[in-house]
Amino acid sequence: MPAISRTIRARIPTESGEFHLFHYTNTSDRKEHLAVVMGDVAGKAKTLVRVHSECFTGDVLGSLRCDCGEQLTQSMQLIAAEGSGVLIYLRQEGRGIGLEAKLQAYNLQDEGYDTVEANLLLGHQADEREYWAAAGILADLDIPSIRLMTNNPAKIEHLEALGITVTDRVPLLPSINAENAFYLDTKIKRMRHMLDLPPTRNGDLANHAPARHSSIQVPTAGHAEQIARISRLAAAYFQQESRPFITLSYAQSLDGSIARTAGAPTVISGAASLRLTHRLRAAHDAVLVGVGTVLADDPRLDVRLADGPNPAAIVLDTHLRTPPDARLFERHQQVWIVTAGADSANAQALSERGARLLVTPVGEDGRPDLSIALARLGAEGVKSIMVEGGAEVIHAFLIRDLACFAAITVAPRFLGGLPAVTACPTAVCLPELSDVVYTQADRDLMVWGALPRGNQQA
Ligand SMILES: NC(=O)c1ccc[n+]([C@@H]2O[C@H](COP(=O)([O-])OP(=O)(O)OC[C@H]3O[C@@H](n4cnc5c(N)ncnc54)[C@H](OP(=O)(O)O)[C@@H]3O)[C@@H](O)[C@H]2O)c1
């Protein structure tokens, strides 16, 4: 755990009463974590404590989008009423994603995503906060146990895991307005917050929520059927072929683009499609992307928005350009890197990160021979792979007729960007789907169908 040390303290008279502000430095970041202390708390069991994460918009501007400012004021008032206590102020804006990303997330929320979905769409976790600084400050103040002012069970769990004794939880009651109603509802439903919200004056909570994409009726039953269909086909295919069943799955715009430009991530599909993608991942043994996608998007490729296990991750990477600090290493027990040679300077670092290098002879294009790679992965027991892209990889699987099934999201927008498939020589005939089923995921269309290689069992 990083070390944290007190530099200085000063008296701060406030409307709620007189506090002392303690300033800290630490060995992990350059942030000024703070403690606002009232009374003599050293050695005091069950000290009233708030561990508050910085929220510029709520704390300083009084934004109505969240309840942070209110929680800050309430905590200081409760401490003042008791005559002693501590408000720990951690500099981790926007649940740890920073102010810039929080503002991007606000814009996504204005498009209809909830706070969790918005963070995930931006490639962050729903909550990236850490509490080691709080634990260090409590130790510095010599506080043996705390009564924690919070509605967030995860915060209690984090602090307890750091050795803090939390004897009681003191709830903080927010007031509800049209701007924060949906946010508070999301906190309850998706982040386990312990809030018992009263109905508001103008009706129930839902009436206060802004219009959202999910208000459109979604026939989700078809999705379960299609996922079951893939699982059935995959099991039969692997039994017969001893190689993994390949599901090609990506999101495209109406004009067939999968990104605005190569090398940059673009949010194409909606939140419901994203959840579906996670369900699909959970139904496969592995998820595969090209190194171009790893470098552009740094994707996690895990299952966060659905129930189910994380699949293994596979990266096609001829020259071992995958960064050892890529986020996919954080979440996958097994990461395969299909490569042409293991003599790059990066090989050692990737192996130390836990990657297994699958060295494969190269084909005419100078890249790992996909057919051989798939046979090897089959021999390792990988029965099904969801190929998520990017463009070069989608093209490579289609042109070689290696995919068995397609599950493609079509979002109702134009991008004019990177096409999923580039122009092929006229002699090459790209496959057509059979037994096609269309479903809807909020505003997106899902196209499901067997490809010739996989449809013999359809
Ligand atoms: N909309 C979606 O669903 C979706 C999904 C994924 C990605 N994307 C987007 O797609 C873009 C990335 O696409 P991309 O075409 O640049 O990269 P990519 O398809 O992810 O990766 C291509 C790279 O993979 C490596 N590779 C190794 N073996 C290969 C093989 N046999 N066949 C093909 N490639 C092989 C090659 O690099 P080396 O020669 O160095 O090995 C190649 O340059 C990003 O902008 C990303 O946001 C969109």
Tokens (6 digits) for 364: 């005419």
Distance 166 CA to ligand 1 centre (A): 48
Q: Whose CA is nearest to atom 34 of ligand 1?
A: 393
Whether the Cβ atoms of residue 334 and residue 356 lie closer than 8 Å to each other: yes
Distance 293 CA to ligand 1 centre (A): 5
281 in catalytic set: no
List of domains in the chain: 4-215 (3.40.50.10990), 221-457 (3.40.430.10)
Indicate which atom in ligand 1 lies nearest the CA of residue 318: 41
Q: What is the pLDDT of residues 320-337, one digit of tens each?
A: 999 999 999 987 789 999
129 in catalytic set: yes
Q: What is the pLDDT of residues 173-182, one digit of tens each?
A: 877 776 777 7
How many residues belong to the chain? 458
Instruction: Please confirm whether the linkage preceding 163 is cis (ω < 30° from 0).
Output: no
Q: How far apart are alpha carbons 259 and 277 in whole angstroms?
A: 17
Best residue among 291, 377, 422 to mutate for probing ligand 1, ranked by most atoms within 8 Å of CB:
291
Indicate which atom in ligand 1 lies nearest the CA of residue 266: 47
Distance 108 CA to ligand 1 centre (A): 26
Q: How far apart are alpha carbons 237 and 383 in whole angstroms?
A: 9
DSSP E strands, 102-207: 145-149, 165-170
Indicate which atom in ligand 1 lies nearest the CA of residue 252: 1
Q: How far apart are alpha carbons 48 and 41 in whole angstroms?
A: 9
Instruction: Give the per-residue pLDDT at 203.
Output: 33
Show the ligand 1 pocket: residues with CB < 6 angstroms: 250-251, 258-259, 262-265, 268, 289-293, 296-297, 316-319, 321, 367-368, 370, 388-393, 396, 418
For each of the chain's 458 residues, which pLDDT tens digit applies? 899 999 999 999 998 899 999 999 999 999 999 999 999 999 999 999 999 999 999 999 999 888 899 999 999 999 999 999 999 999 999 999 999 999 999 998 887 788 888 888 888 888 999 999 999 999 999 999 999 999 999 999 999 999 999 999 998 887 777 677 778 777 777 777 777 654 443 333 333 333 333 333 334 458 999 999 999 999 999 999 999 999 999 999 999 999 988 887 788 888 788 889 999 999 999 999 999 999 998 999 998 878 889 999 999 999 999 999 999 998 778 999 999 988 888 999 999 999 999 999 999 999 999 999 999 999 999 999 999 999 999 999 999 999 999 999 999 999 999 999 988 877 778 989 999 999 998 889 999 999 999 865 44
Question: Residue 254: which of 450, 443, 449, 448 has the closest Cα?
Answer: 443
**Interior angle at CA 143, CA 140 and CA 144, nearest 5:** 125
Q: Which of 50, 65, 129, 275 is catalytic?
A: 129
Indicate which atom in ligand 1 lies nearest the CA of residue 250: 3
Q: Whose CA is nearest to atom 43 of ligand 1?
A: 292
Residue 123: alpha-carbon gap to chain centroid: 5
Q: Who contacts 234 (Cβ-Cβ below 8 Å, separation ≥6)?
A: 244, 245, 247, 284, 383, 384, 404
Distances (CA, A) of 22 to 27, 88, 235, 272: 17, 9, 61, 45
Question: Residue 375: which of 395, 358, 398 has the closest Cα?
Answer: 358
Distance 388 CA to ligand 1 centre (A): 9
Instruction: Give the per-residue pLDDT at 263.
Output: 83
Q: Whose CA is nearest to atom 30 of ligand 1?
A: 367
Q: How far apart are alpha carbons 393 and 46 in whole angstroms?
A: 58
Instruction: Give the per-residue pLDDT at 187.
Output: 78
Best residue among 121, 246, 258 to mutate for probing ligand 1, ranked by most atoms within 8 Å of CB:
258
Distance 394 CA to ligand 1 centre (A): 8
Q: How far apart are alpha carbons 427 and 125 in whole angstroms?
A: 46
Pairing of strands 165-170, 145-149: parallel
DSSP 320: -
263: left (phi over 0), alpha (psi -120 to 50) or beta: left
Q: Whose CA is nearest to atom 9 of ligand 1?
A: 390
Question: Residue 286: which of 388, 370, 381, 384 has the closest Cα?
Answer: 384
Indicate which atom in ligand 1 lies nearest the CA of residue 261: 45
Whether the Cβ atoms of residue 190 and residue 165 lie closer than 8 Å to each other: no
Q: How far apart are alpha carbons 2 and 90 in whole angstroms?
A: 14
Annotate 73-94 with b (16+ C-beta within 10 A) or e (fewer). bbbbebbbeeeebbbbbbebbb
Distance 263 CA to ligand 1 centre (A): 9
Instruction: Give the per-residue pLDDT at 110.
Output: 82
Angle between helices 271-282 and 221-241 (to 10 degrees): 30
Quickly tell me which residue has 């996989």 as its tokens. 454
Question: Residue 34: which of 114, 106, 140 has the closest Cα?
Answer: 140
Distance 242 CA to ligand 1 centre (A): 26
Q: Which of 59, 67, 127, 302 is catalytic?
A: 127
Q: Whose CA is nearest to atom 47 of ligand 1?
A: 265
